[in-house]
Amino acid sequence: IARVGEREFDLILMDVQMPVLDGFEATKHLRQQLGLTTPIIALTASAINGEKQKCLAAGMNDYLTKPFFEDELIQLVHDWIMRPLGTATDPEATPVPIAPAPPVLSPDASISLYKLDILLDTARGNQKFVESMLKTFIDGTYNALRDLNRALEVGNMQGLQGTAHKLRPSLVHLQIQPAVVLMDTLENWEGPFSYDDLQPLVAAADRLLRQVLADMNTELEARRAALAA
């Protein structure tokens, strides 16, 4: 908000979930208090029904779900910057399709639990970047599993939802769909905290992701050996 008061921007990318002041409140302040008309695009890891409408109601112009492809962001920025002044936002013009969540399946040992297609496409042949991203995911996921289990043990529903929200984008990038479903269930939990109901979800996520991490560590070592050869 302070930066907007210092200079003019062509477009603002607004992270919906931020500490202190979330993207919804920040946008309302920019629109209502400062009278800002600059296009604002919401960036969110949540794909639940009604999320886009909530962003538009707060005063944002468009919506992009994380993780996203580089081309998607570039196209969206281009569309809004090149849009004639005074063009109104039409909430129904570009609906965001939300696919129904698939059932959580038991992992098949013969099928890879994750895919690197998106990462490899982003890396564009830079193997050190691939290694770095895998290492970052491994370290971050170990920490996230620790946080999930700790939040469960102390009855911290907000901690469970926050950790699920942070973990979800990486799981989408790596196409670990059963884990994405589990994180969506935790993040969008609407009832009160219930250890008996939540423990199986956390246990399933822990079991699945620890197997993913074991497989990924094996692949990481193989990639390092190949580069050193």
- Looking at the fold, whether 73 and 153 belong to one and the same domain comes out as no
d(CA 163, CA 151) in angstroms, rounded, equals: 9
Backbone angles phi, psi at 181, to 5 degrees: -60, -45
Computed over every residue of the chain, the mean pLDDT equals 82
pTM to 2 decimal places = 0.59
Structure confidence at residue 93 as a pLDDT band (50, 70, 90): very low
Q: Give the closest residue to 105 by CA, choosing from 204, 178, 206, 213.
A: 178
Of 81, 103, 136, which residue constitutes the final position of a domain?
Answer: 81
- Do 216 and 129 lie in one domain? The reply is yes
Pair (218, 171) in one structural domain: yes
CATH number at residue 147: 1.20.120
Structure confidence by residue, pLDDT tens digits, 145-173? 999 999 999 999 999 998 998 888 888 88
Residue 166 lies in a domain: yes
Q: Look at residue 84 and tell me whether its pLDDT is greater than 60.
A: no
Q: Kindly list the distances between the CA atom of residue 131 and the CA atoms of 40, 123, 125, 143, 205, in Å, as whole numbers in the listed order.
A: 34, 10, 11, 19, 24
Q: Is 210 part of any domain?
A: yes
- 204: pLDDT strictly greater than 60: yes
Instruction: Let me know the angle formed at the C-alpha of 170 by 195 and 183, rounded to the nearest 5 degrees.
Output: 20
> What is the domain count for the chain?
2
Residue-wise pLDDT tens digits, 114-124: 999 888 888 88
Q: Are residues 125 and 183 in the same domain?
A: yes
- Residue 20 falls inside a structural domain: yes
Report how far residue 123's alpha carbon sits from residue 212's, in angstroms, rounded to the nearest whole number: 21
Same domain, 137 and 208: yes
Residue 198: pLDDT over 90? yes
Token pair 């290492």 is at which residue?
A: 135
Same domain, 66 and 126: no
Domain membership flag for residue 105: no
Domain encompassing residue 216: 117-228
